[in-house]
Structure 1
Amino acid sequence: MSPRRRGLFSFHYDGDSWRTSQVRNIGVIQRSRPVDSNAWEEVKRRGKSAIREWIDARIARSSCVVVLVGSETADREWVRYEIEKAWVEGKGLIGIYIHNLQDQHGKQSRKGRNPFDIEVEGVRLSDHVKVHDPRTKDSQRAYHRIADDIEDWVELAVRNAEERRRVRREHAGRSWLSRLLG
């Protein structure tokens, strides 16, 4: 078993905080304490640059960003920022559809769009980042599928990020060498 990874859960707070708490409580990700709504409101009051700094600091301490995808996640400005920042910083990235987990009222939601269906640095992320879908309408089964597999998903995302960083370094080295020799 691999050590627990330091990570960040990215999600639509208003729509999915209850579902997110279920996944967070599985315990695979360190530093996955819920964001206190009062602390988040304080950061928001300080403006967009404060939000970016707050997110940047959390991503810098993470090896993986796990995007928990609900019905509106792909439309959230700060989720998109976290995805872009994690990609540029070479962090592990995965998505998990959580729409079939029940909320505090026992309700499920509709499946949202893939939040990785964007381009960053000329790369379509949906071609490189896996979004896992438990593919069951039963909330308990969806939870158990996530619980059974999330550790492996996170580990694979981190290894993929390490490979991306290695390829970037090699490419940068070749570019430097070709400029020197050319």
Structure 2
Amino acid sequence: MAKTVFYSFHYEQDVHRVQLVRNINALEAQPLLNSQDWEQVRRRGDEAIKNWIHKQMAYKKAVIVLIGKCTASRPWVMYEIKKAWADKKPLLGIRIHGLSALGSVDSAGSDPFAKAIGAGVVPVFDPAMQDWSGKTDSKATYNKLRDNLESWSEQGVIRRSW
């Protein structure tokens, strides 16, 4: 069976990119809520969101933050990072700005781990590839991600007890 992971990401900005990651089928992850289901959870308040996160993260072997342009500014992503760190789950990041979402790529976002738990602690992988003219090549980026996703998922770090 594939390794089970919890994907943390900025829904509105990156849901199409996340769907591409899920379509690789290298890892088993939590269900991807459609916008209506997410709104139902969100409308019930912060406790409902926390409960959903706790339930979805409970039996996952690792937490992967899929880092887009705005990911580091999202409060629920910060919450998920801190929860993974507190639960001593392997944690890592993968940049997804180079994947095409509705025909366009994005610029790289800042490191969400620097804000949440300290820079330089958690590995961040960047599959973004460029073509001969220096533009991001989304197909080559997808292929690099597809070829490396499973091995990268094994390289998360766990918070050590002092």
When normalised by structure 2's length, the TM-score is: 0.89
Q: Residue 118 of structure 1: CA displacement?
A: 2.5
Counterpart of 1:61 (choices 35, 59, 62) is 59
Could you tell me which residue of structure 2 aligns to residue 131 of structure 1? 124
Given residue 33 of structure 1, which amino acid in structure 2 is its aligned partner?
A: P
- State the match for 2:105 in structure 1: 108
Give 1:31 shift.
Answer: 3.1
Amino acid at match of 1:108: V
Q: How many residues align?
A: 156
TM-score, L = length of structure 1: 0.80
CA-CA distance at 1:156 after TM superposition: 1.9
Q: State the 1:63 CA deviation.
A: 1.1
Q: Give 5+ residue unaligned stretches, structure 2.
A: 130-135
Q: Secondary structure at the match of 1:23?
A: helix
Whole-Å Cα distance in 2 between the matches of residues 16 and 146 of structure 1?
16
- Equivalent pair of 2:92/2:155 in contact (CA under 8 Å): no
Q: Report 1:33-52 matches (<5 A).
A: 33-52=31-50
The equivalent residue for 1:11 is: 9
2:132 corresponds to: none
**Runs of 4+ more than 4 Å apart:** none
Structure of larger gyration radius: 1
Q: CA deviation at 1:8?
A: 1.1
| Other structure's SS at 2:109 match | coil
User: What letter matches 1:71 in structure 2?
Assistant: K
Q: Report the RMSD for the aligned CA atoms in angstroms.
A: 1.5
Residue 36 of structure 1 and its aligned partner are, at CA, apart by: 2.4
**Which amino acid in 2 is paired with 1:112?**
G
Structure 2 distance, partners of 1:32, 1:81, is 17
Higher share of residues assigned helix: 1
| 2: CA distance, partners of 1:94 / 1:78 | 16
Q: 1:32 to 1:50 in 2, by over 3 A?
A: closer
SS at match of 2:108: coil
Distance 1:119 1:45, change over 3 A: closer
> What are the equivalent positions in structure 2 for 1:79-118 lying under 5 Å apart?
79-104=77-102, 106-118=103-115
